[in-house]
Structure formats: structure tokens, C-alpha cells
Amino acid sequence: MSTAWKSRYALRTKDLKSSTIRELLKITQKPEIISFAGGLPAPDVFPLDRFQEACRRVLELNGHQALQYGATEGYEPLREMIARHIARYGIKAKADNVLITCGSQQALDLIGKLFINAGDRVLVEAPTYLGALQAFDVYGAEYVSVHTDHDGLRTDLLEERLRSGPKFMYVLPNFQNPGGTTLSEGRRHQLVLLADKYGIPIIEDDPYGQLRYEGEHLPPLVVIDRENLRRDEGYSIGNVIYLSTFSKTLAPGLRLGWIVAPPDVIAKLVQLKQGADLHTSTFTQVVAYEVAKDNFLDEHVKLIRKVYRERRDVMLESLKKYFPPEVTWTHPQGGLFLWVTLPEGMDCNKLFQTALNENVAFVPGDCFYARNGFDNEGCRHMRLNFSYGQPEQIREGIRRLSVAIKMQLRSPHVNH
């Protein structure tokens, strides 16, 4: 008799859904479809030669260490490099404050594991990163959602929500996924002050911070917290845990991210990571270090910024040229995405089918809202990625999408 696996699944798996984006990506991989759905970096900017050379050097000079088990905290030279790298953004961390993870996605999972008891509330932006919701859902998180606008999280709405006692806030200050919006400097200060006033810590997720195409760099929340509230107390305390990744600056296939946190939090996360995977791949870490060193990463990021800025501009121009005037969109200063708002009454999930018939795809907005977090609002939105396609594909894809939108607008089922 075969085992009834289903009846043995743990309770925490009861409400799990597979990611809409992953399902969509399967459909949109047909070659005739122009897809704005994935969050993929452009493969043409992966520094293949540098990786090839780094792999050769690592195996020749450091092969025995690179192929061996390693410390759970991560490869020491890489942790030190990250600490030096982020110091330029004012984040004065030591290697001891850095834990290397298998992408930022693992960081989110470990944070969920460390902090969330079933039923705990997590304060999130509406909309927010779908992968964070997936990571936190497993631990039984409930959500308190706060609206965003063109300047990011609406801090004017925050105080009331903080009174409901969330365990922590999960915030994306730079070129948010999915909104493409950036939290203004004034709001950053307000957010940090309110977090301190109510004693609610912040998880600052910053995969895109280096990919700025216009405007001034804004201070990370972790820096504002430290400089304004924790003078002279070093990095042993602080109200903000900071996450970032090499996925958007080197290559997502590396699966390398990192957490910056006070040492006692790092020690706890290390215990949890040991149970998860012992450590992140030593080989990958040593290769990433070889690739990134001697300022290569900085030079490479300049190239990425140039390529993505052009693609963003092509998408913005094409939207202006083809989309009907009732449709609006965000103007991201960096990152990979922009966020489109359709007229009231339009449903992105219906539009998705029409768009597929026109051989173009996007992600319907509703999957970026937490349960009980303005569920129906998402239906009027879609997320478009501009980093992956070549400029010509972006132009043609937006033209096709405009055809689908105009058809939908003419449909008698749309009431507006």
C-alpha cells in the first residue's frame, strides 16, 4: 500500500500556494511571447570571462579550500569585502556583523524562522515583495499592510498600524519590487523615529540600491537609525537588520546574499542556518570573491546601470507613446520594475489572458498584496520588468500590451 503523503503534511503547509510568478514564468517561456513578467537580470551583462578566469584561478590556487565544507557565517574574505563595500554607503559594519546566505531569499526565510510565531503580525508595504510573503507565510505570519505612493511607504499612516504591535516591519526603501518607488529621505527619518518610538524593529531589504539611474543616493534606514539614535554605540545594537545580494549586481545563479545585523542576532541566525544547509556553497563564495575583488564589482555595476537605464527609458517612452491616457505608471529612479495602474473596473487577471493572446506577458498586481491587505486593489495593477528584454523587444512588447489594454477597455464588462 502506498503512503498517503498528503495526510502527513505539516499544518504549516496548509495554506501554501505556489508562486504566481513561477507559474506564469512557465507559460511565458514560449519564444513568441515577450515577457515583462520575470525579475530577471539581463544575461548579456553577466561577466562570463571574469567568471571563467576566476574559476580557473580558484581551482588552481585555492581548490582544496574552495571544495571543502566552510564556516556557517560564510567565507571570511568575502564577509570582509562586503563590510568594506557597504561602509561606502555609511553602513559601518564589521565582518562579524555579516552572515552570507543562499540569496536574500534565504535571509528572509531565516528571519521568518527567528522572529515569527504563528499568528504574529508583520507590517508590510502594500504592495510588497511576493517572495517575502511566501517566506513569512510558512511561519504563520499575519499581516498589517500600509499603503505606498510615489514616495514609497505612507509614513503618515504608520503610527496607527504600529499601535497594533507588529513583530517587525519589512520595508524596501530603494526602487521597490514591485512598485519601482523610492522612499523619500524625509519619510526614511520618520520611519526610523517611529520604529524607535514604538520599539518595532525594521528589516530593510535592499537588493537594488546600487542600481540607481538618476537622482541622489539616499541614506539606508540602518544608517539613519545608527547615526541619529545610537551615537557611539557601535554596531552591537540597532533597530534595523539590513539585507542585500549579489543577484542583481553579479549573477542570481550564484545564490549569494547577506544579512547585516548585531552580533547576537547573527549568532542566532547562524544556528538556524546550520540546520538549514550548514553553510552557503564555499566554491561559489570563493569564486564570487575572486570575481568581485580589485574594484571589479564597482566597474561592473557602472555597466549594468548604463544598460538598464537605457531599457527603463525605452519602456517609459514606449508607455507614453502607446498606452491610452487613462493608464498611469511609476517612474522608477533605479531597479528593475515599474508599476502600472489601470482604470477602475479593469481586472489585470483578465487582461493577462488577452495579453497572452497578443504574445506579451506581465505579472498581475494582486499577488503582491498580503492576505487581508487591500486584496482587490491589486487587480488594477501590473508589474513590468525592464531589465531583461532588449530595447527593440521592450518597444514591441509595450505596443502589444497597449493593444490588449485597448481591447479590454472596449469590452462591455469593464465598468468605468
Ligand X SMILES: Cc1ncc(COP(=O)(O)O)c(C=O)c1O
Closest distance between ligand X and the C-beta of residue 127, in Å? 11
For residue 257, state whether it binds ligand X (rule: CB under 6 A): yes
For residue 120, state whether it binds ligand X (rule: CB under 6 A): no
For residue 385, state whether it binds ligand X (rule: CB under 6 A): no
For residue 387, state whether it binds ligand X (rule: CB under 6 A): no
Show the cell assigned to 390: 532588449
Closest distance between ligand X and the C-beta of residue 355, in Å? 22
Scanning 1-9, 12-20, 98-106, 154-162 for contacts with ligand X by CB under 6 A, the matching segment is 98-106
Considering the complex, state which of residue 304 and residue 405 has its C-beta at the smaller distance from ligand X: 304
Determine the size of the site formed for ligand X (CB under 6 A): 14
Sequence-distant (≥ 6) Cβ neighbours of residue 187 within 8 angstroms: 151, 152, 153, 155
Considering the complex, state which of residue 181 and residue 408 has its C-beta at the smaller distance from ligand X: 181
Q: Which of 72, 182, 245, 387 binds ligand X (CB under 6 A)?
A: 245
Interface with ligand X in residues 173-212 (CB under 6 A)? 177, 205, 207
Other C-beta atoms lying within 10 Å of the C-beta of residue 229: 16
CA distance 364 to 355: 11
Closest distance between ligand X and the C-beta of residue 22, in Å? 12
Considering the complex, state which of residue 131 and residue 180 has its C-beta at the smaller distance from ligand X: 131
Site string for ligand X, 5-34 (x = CB under 6 A): ------------------------------
Q: Which of 78, 144, 172, 342 binds ligand X (CB under 6 A)?
A: 172
CA distance 358 to 17: 28
For residue 247, state whether it binds ligand X (rule: CB under 6 A): yes
CA distance 11 to 225: 38
Closest CA to 34 of 394, 407, 354, 353: 394
Q: Which of 103, 219, 238, 262 binds ligand X (CB under 6 A)?
A: 103
Q: Which residue is nearest to ligand X (CB)?
A: 103
The DSSP bridge pattern shows strands 202-205 and 168-171 to be parallel
Q: Which of 34, 38, 39, 258 binds ligand X (CB under 6 A)?
A: 39
What residues make contact with ligand X under the rule CB under 6 A? 39, 103-105, 129, 131, 172, 177, 205, 207, 245, 247, 252, 257
